[in-house]
Amino acid sequence: MRISGGVARGVPLVVPKGDAVRPATDGLRQAVFSSLAARVPGARFADLFAGSGAYGLEALSRGATGGEWVEQNPRAAGCLRRNLVTVCKSLGRDERGLTVHEMDALGWQPEAGAEPDLVFIDPPYSLITEVAPKLFAQLAVTLAANADPLVVFELPGELRLAPQGWTCVRRLGGKGAHQPTACFFRREQSGAERPG
């Protein structure tokens, strides 16, 4: 698994052995970031259920200024920290403005004044129906100060999410059952309020 674009393109990422994480495929990440395009440079991000940290590290490689990773599994968090050091070295930057939290994503709160513009969520597929409503309710509060946050949620092709107060504006990836897809969610707003 490697960073698929940006300054750190090609940098390999380590993942824990076994089934501790299910890394986002290079192809799906590439499709996600091609769609995000101009939203990434200068953005702050949060990578929840981060695993090896691939989504956030990809954002960093493509010009995000800072962000936070949240991963509860200690082995995965250890790999994430190693990956962060490697990517920062490739980018020629230090780790200021970048934080790894070893905790449950449902307990995470962004640092005051540093609310993310982009939130990547890639939970174990078996937990999605249980955690998704709680996560979106939490994000509605924690991202309230952000004019137009975007949530990228990875889920299997057969699953549909309709979180209250959020709209899926795009879906990328495979169409078959168990094929990974990424849904882009924006907060529901009236047409007059939605930024261009």
Give the CB-side neighbour count of residue 184, counting CA atoms within 13 A. Answer: 19
| 196 band by pLDDT with thresholds 50, 70 and 90 | very low
Average pLDDT over residues 135-163: 92
CB 149 within 8 A of CB 111: no
Q: What percentage of the chain carries pLDDT values higher than 90? A: 71
- Residues 2, 29: contact at Cβ < 8 Å? no
DSSP state of 188: -
DSSP H/E element including 61 = helix 54-61
pTM for the whole structure = 0.91
**Cα–Cα dist 103/167, whole Å:** 28
**Spelled out in words, what is the top-level CATH class assigned to the domain 26-187?**
alpha beta
Confidence of residue 21 (pLDDT cuts 50, 70, 90): low
pLDDT in tens, 45-104: 999 999 999 999 999 999 999 999 999 999 999 999 999 999 999 999 999 889 999 999
Q: Average the pLDDT over 26-31 and give the result.
A: 86
Residue-wise pLDDT for 170-195, tens only, equals 999 876 777 899 999 999 875 434 44
Domain ranges within the chain, ordered by starting residue: 26-187
Question: Is pLDDT at 23 greater than 70 in this prediction?
Answer: no
| CA max distance for the chain | 49
Residue 195, pLDDT score: 41
The predicted pLDDT at position 50 comes to 95
